[in-house]
Each structure stands twice: as C-alpha cells, then as structure tokens.
C-alpha cells in the first residue's frame, strides 16, 4: 500500500492550502481572490481533522502528526487565529484558474499576509 506524502499535483489540478489572519488578506498579486477557488474554508481544529480524514483518508490523525504531511503546520496556523483555505486549480478551466495552475500560488500571493502551507 502506498502512503501519500503531502499534497498531490498532476497535469489537471494543483492542490493548495494557505493560512491567513484575516480572510480579506487571502488575495493573489493579480486580480482574484483565493477564497473563490477554495473548496474548504477551515477555521477550527475539528474542521481541519475532518478535512484530513475526508480528503486524504486518514482515520488515525495521530499517524500523521509530526511526520511532514502539513497537518501540524495547519493546526498551528488555526491555533494562531488564521483561516485555512484549501482547494485546487485546474488546467482544464479558464482564465485566472489556469494561470494559477501553471504559475503556482507561491508566485502570486502577498507573502506578508498569506502563508502558503502547501502548493507550488
């Protein structure tokens, strides 16, 4: 059985997760709002646990804590008062989403306001 390590990227989607103190700061450097692409808006540790269980089939969260899967960093961000937005960008869409898929989220966010926890 293969273990998944972190977020997965393939030719049609690119995963992301960011943490922000204020949801208004969840912006990219080009016109657009990350929240528009987020499948999940995570504000509590319970919601984070459900996200990891649902999206990554983790039944025992203790198995991933402290092992580099992004859970610990995400939990710390929530405990620090930040909001997590998680989703993916598709190359099979159009406009801004295709651009973000190609360029990656790190290249277009204001790093003073948005912490990219995972994603290219």
Q: How far is CA 110 from CA 17, 82, 100, 120, in A?
A: 14, 15, 14, 15
5-35: pLDDT as tens digits: 555 545 567 788 889 999 888 876 566 788 9
In tens digits, the chain (120 residues) has pLDDT values of 344 455 554 556 778 888 999 988 887 656 678 898 899 999 999 999 999 888 877 667 777 777 767 888 999 999 999 999 998 888 888 788 888 888 888 888 888 889 988 877
Chain-centroid distance of CA 105 in Å reads: 10
Q: How far is CA 83 from CA 3, 16, 31, in A?
A: 27, 14, 20
| Residue 70 falls in which region: left (phi positive, over 0), alpha (psi -120 to 50) or beta | left
The model's pTM is: 0.70
Task: Report d(CA 39, CA 108) in Å as an integer.
Answer: 19
pLDDT of 3: 46
Closest CA to 114 of 87, 75, 76, 84: 84
How many helices (H) and strands (E) would you count in the chain?
3, 4
Domain residue ranges of the chain, discontinuous segments joined by +:
13-118
């Amino acid at each position: 059985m293969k273990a998944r390590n972190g977020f997965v990227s393939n030719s049609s989607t690119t995963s992301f997760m960011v943490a922000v103190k204020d949801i208004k700061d969840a912006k990219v450097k080009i016109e657009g709002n990350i929240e528009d692409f987020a499948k999940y808006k995570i504000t509590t540790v319970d919601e984070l646990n459900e996200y990891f269980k649902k999206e990554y089939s983790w039944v025992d969260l203790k198995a991933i804590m402290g092992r580099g899967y992004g859970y610990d960093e995400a939990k710390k961000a929530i405990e620090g008062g930040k909001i997590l937005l998680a989703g993916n960008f598709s190359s099979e869409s159009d406009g801004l989403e295709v651009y973000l898929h190609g360029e990656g989220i790190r290249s277009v966010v204001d790093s003073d306001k948005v912490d990219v926890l995972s994603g290219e």
